[in-house]
Amino acid sequence: MSACEMEGEARAHEVVAVHTPSRSYDVHVGVGIIDEVGQLTRAACGGERACVISDDNVAPLYANAVAESLAEAGYETSLQVFPAGEANKNIETLSGLLEGLAAAELTRNDVVVAVGGGVTGDMAGLAAALYLRGCQVVQVPTSLLAMVDSSVGGKTAIDLAAGKNLAGAFFQPSLVVADVDCLDTLAPEQLADSCGEVIKHAVLSGPELFGDLVSHPIVAESRDSEALVRLVAQNVRVKRDVVDADEREAGLRQTLNLGHTIGHAIEAASDFSLGHGSCVAAGLCCMARAAASRGWSSVEVARVIEDACLAHGLPADTDLDHETIVSFAAHDKKRHGDTINIVVPVAIGSATIRTVTLAEFEELVRQGCGTLTR
């Protein structure tokens, strides 16, 4: 752990190193470090031009501060802002961003800086991957979900009419800068939604992180900044360890899809009106109950996962009809021919990947969805 000095006070600042076959980079997690984006980008990326990409919710809050920091570090800086929301994570928005990068005359040595939540990180990351067949990207996540999950690991994508994240690329960032002070501007429901991915990581990680979440749920009133730095860094390490071992989701990285097969179906069926983290939480609980019904896990494992989600104000079930869930899941990228890969929580700290037929998946949906009795 390192500390940065600001106005004479030591503020929490942790650095997590990520090493993948395609790129190594640092994830900075700290308090009040958004003003350091410029100097950190200069050290990690070099280049002459920087294009900040943000959405119209986040840009008024943080885009100018990031742009000024980049300018102070010697970058010729431009800004692109697109309409917020999952509904705009599409090829039309992506096309506009690519044209903007060309208009700003970025070269392969220059850098795209994503400032925002998961949608912005996905859009800017994919634009950087495609523009000139790849220029550098820096992720500056401003939501808890983006800090602990989507900003790390290099997954970038847009949605298609057929489903979520169906067109994309693996493209690692050159740097991630997560300032937990940005979480102060999140509405309580946005913070709660982000906790879906945190709980998923805790289930994968083991009893220590999971127990901390159960005993100290993440709510604005009970987590100070230093505790949030530790929590975010701990989650990043969980994901880092998986991504380092399996960058392109050939095996182990598929465990990070825990809760996502059913969760993505719920999200897509809602026309993306439900938050991603909430859908992951519901999908996780549904799969845990189905696993218990099959004898792959225990009823106790399902119960404690449900308790953790409910304690964070997250849904533990869905009222969608089973046919709708199966239909949307059948279009998911985890499908392979007539089978689909699912991630099953076996215990707190253990998950396994199973390949099931679509008929078997339909039975799992019947056993786990719409079955919460409390």
Residue 341 bears catalytic tag: no
Q: Is 19 a catalytic residue?
A: no
197 is catalytic: yes
From the list 257, 267, 312, 334, the catalytic residue is 257
C-alpha closest to that of 275 among 315, 222, 237, 331? 315
Annotated catalytic residue within 36, 249, 267, 306: 249
42 is catalytic: no
CA distance 330 to 336: 9
Main-chain phi, psi angles of 339, to 5 degrees: -125, 165
155 given a catalytic annotation: yes
Q: How many CB atoms lie within 10 A of CB 185?
A: 13
Categorise residue 32: left if φ over 0, alpha if ψ from -120 to 50, beta otherwise.
left
Do 12 and 75 touch, CB atoms closer than 8 A?
A: no
Quick one: which of 194, 191, 192, 176 has its CA closest to 233?
176
Exactly one of 28, 89, 237, 253 is catalytic; which is it? 253
The H or E element spanning position 144 is helix 144-145
133 is an active site residue: yes
β-pairing, 111-116 vs 155-160, is: unpaired
| Residue from 200, 237, 240, 264 carrying the catalytic annotation | 264
Strands 9-19 and 24-30: what pairing? antiparallel
The reply to whether 253 belongs to the active site is yes
Whole-number Å distance between alpha carbons of 130 and 124: 10
Q: Which of 14, 36, 86, 197 is labelled catalytic? A: 197
CA–CA distance from 167 to each of 123, 163, 192 (Å)?
11, 10, 28
Beta carbons of 301 and 292 less than 8 angstroms apart: yes
Write down the catalytic residue from 200, 237, 240, 276.
276
Which of 299, 302, 301, 296 has the alpha carbon at shortest distance from 282? 302
Among 200, 237, 239, 312, the active-site one is 239
92 among known catalytic residues: no
Q: Which residue in the list 260, 289, 312, 334 is annotated as catalytic?
A: 260
Q: Of the residues 28, 155, 164, 237, which is catalytic?
A: 155
Catalytic residue among 5, 7, 92, 133: 133
Annotated catalytic residues are 133, 155, 197, 239, 249, 253, 257, 260, 264, 276
